[in-house]
Amino acid sequence: MNSLSENVDLAGGRLTIDLGALADNWRLLNQLSGASECSAVVKADAYGIGIEQAVPTLWKAGCRTFFVALPGEGVRVRKAAPDAIIYVLAGYLPRTFEIYRDHALRPVINDEINAWIEASGENNFPYAIQLETGMNRLGMPISDFEALRKSGLIASHQPDLVISHLACADTPDHPLNEQQRAEFQKIVDRYACKYTSLANSAGIFLGPDYHNDLVRPGIALYGGAAADEHLQNNPMRPVICVEARILQVKSVLPGASVGYGGVETIRPSDRPDGRERILATLSAGYSDGYLRSAGSSDKQPGACAAWRGVRVPLIGRVSMDLVTVDMTDHPDIDQLMGDKWQDEWIELIGPTVPLDEVACSAGTIGYELLTSLGTRYHRTYINDL
Ligand SMILES: *Cc1c(COP(=O)(O)O)cnc(C)c1O
């Protein structure tokens, strides 16, 4: 965080992160996954909300196992939760053994088993293996795993966890879910793997067959939609609220256009007192991770924002630092007139305009929007345990 974003009076945008909602989301997922252990995936700075704040909260809620993408993230988790179990999904990177050892990080091995066992020596440092069951992204091919078992290399150095990852869990009817589950189960049964994990957030909602010994939710912890059906009806609590300061309120006549490219033209207003429309220009833009593709044009509406719980449409393109919304039809519009708009903030993402709705308007998913939130926001963490 830079010093500019520490004083809210200097900030154009503010980001409020509800740690109580994060804890509640973990508790709900923990409950839904029954007897399985519920871990937390906190890669990419806990999906953008901040490892240093998210991890202690999750620990207090009862979470004991954390997954990160990279060893550097694991070092940060170790500081935030000294007694946690920490897995590194990237596996074991060359020349980094001391980092894993000194911070007790456990690699999730895909292909580097020889290097890891050699580096560990007699110490039997804990690690996991990820099996390839159909996603074809990261994971050890089953044939390699079988050869490894036969070779005896890991006979005295068994993995502490065996995982695989579902490619299509957000689409419950996709045949790959059951295929991957069956393939994974066959192998872990055959080799009597003692601690196994398959489900991400969406996998938890596929039901107990997918829960194994441990589940690995990410997005649902942060309030994002895990499954397609959550786009309409999300059981998770929203964790982030993004607001942008109003910088100017102006009246614009029909026929004029708004913003770069002049891609959106002002339509006549229904207001009794004039044909003009009333626009508010806000202090946030694509450099804050409010994606340019969320903008609006004559051809296609963009995202919505909200003020006092009432939605208002974006108008025109999203600029680097600015975005414009059409306030004309807001019931409290009179309370923005004169200089009354000063010190007013407009919700861009939050309780009225959900993360996944904005993501959808921008042609992407909640994950990308969350992990893109820029560094200029004034951040406030509320409701810590
Ligand atoms: C990111 C990730 C998760 C978490 O996925 P969500 O969809 O965010 O719940 C779980 N497992 C692995 C291997 C991952 O890479």
Residue among 311, 291, 318, 301 nearest 354 (CA): 311
Q: Is the CB of 165 under 6 A from ligand 1?
A: yes
Alpha-carbon distance of 271 to 142, in angstroms, equals: 67
Tell me: the pLDDT tens digits for 100-149?
999 999 999 999 999 999 999 888 899 999 999 999 999 999 999 999 99
CA of 124 to the centre of ligand 1 (A): 26
Half-sphere exposure of 249 (CA within 13 A, CB side): 20
Mutate to test the pocket of ligand 1, among 36, 171, 200, 201 (most ligand atoms within 8 A of CB): 200
Q: Which atom of ligand 1 is nearest to the CA of 221?
A: 9
CA of 251 to the centre of ligand 1 (A): 46
Q: Which atom of ligand 1 is nearest to the CA of 217?
A: 9
pLDDT at 119: 93
Both tokens assigned to 32: 């839904």
Q: How confident is the model at residue 332 (pLDDT cuts 50, 70, 90)?
A: very high
Q: Is the CB of 78 under 6 A from ligand 1?
A: no
pLDDT at 1: 46
Collapsing DSSP states into helix, strand and coil, what is residue 314? Answer: strand
Residue ranges and CATH numbers for the domains of the chain are: 33-224 (3.20.20.10), 240-382 (2.40.37.10)
Q: Taking a C-beta distance cutoff of 8 angstroms, is the pair 103, 78 a contact?
A: yes
Instruction: Report the nearest-CA residue for atom 10 of ligand 1.
Output: 200
Alpha-carbon distance of 137 to 251, in angstroms, equals: 52
Q: Which atom of ligand 1 is nearest to the CA of 108?
A: 13
CA of 144 to the centre of ligand 1 (A): 23
Mutate to test the pocket of ligand 1, among 32, 166, 216 (most ligand atoms within 8 A of CB): 216
Q: Which atom of ligand 1 is nearest to the CA of 226?
A: 7
Mutate to test the pocket of ligand 1, among 67, 166, 234 (most ligand atoms within 8 A of CB): 67
Both tokens assigned to 74: 């694991």
Mean pLDDT across the chain: 95
CA of 164 to the centre of ligand 1 (A): 10
Q: Is the CB of 216 under 6 A from ligand 1?
A: yes
Where in the sequence numbering do the catalytic residues fall? 43, 260
Alpha-carbon distance of 42 to 68, in angstroms, equals: 5
The residue ranking higher by pLDDT, 253 or 22, is: 22
pLDDT at 39: 98
Strand boundaries in the chain, DSSP class E: 13-18, 37-38, 40-41, 65-68, 85-88, 105-109, 128-130, 161-163, 196-197, 214-215, 240-252, 257-258, 264-265, 277-282, 304-307, 310-313, 323-326, 345-349, 378-382
Q: How confident is the model at residue 93 (pLDDT cuts 50, 70, 90)?
A: very high
Evaluate if residue 4 carries a pLDDT over 60.
no
CA of 266 to the centre of ligand 1 (A): 43
Alpha-carbon distance of 37 to 63, in angstroms, equals: 8
Taking residues 161-166, what's their average pLDDT?
98
pLDDT at 298: 94
Torsion of CA 265, 271, 272, 275, to 10 degrees: -10
Helix (H) or strand (E) holding 31: helix 19-32
Burial of 16 (0-12, 13-18, 19+ CB in 10 A): middle
CA of 256 to the centre of ligand 1 (A): 46
Instruction: Report the nearest-CA residue for atom 4 of ligand 1.
Output: 218
CA of 268 to the centre of ligand 1 (A): 47
Tell me: the pLDDT tens digits for 235-253?
999 999 999 999 999 999 9
Q: Is the CB of 200 under 6 A from ligand 1?
A: yes
pLDDT at 273: 63
DSSP 42-67: -HHHHHTT-HHHHHHHHHHHT--EEE
Q: Is the CB of 201 under 6 A from ligand 1?
A: yes
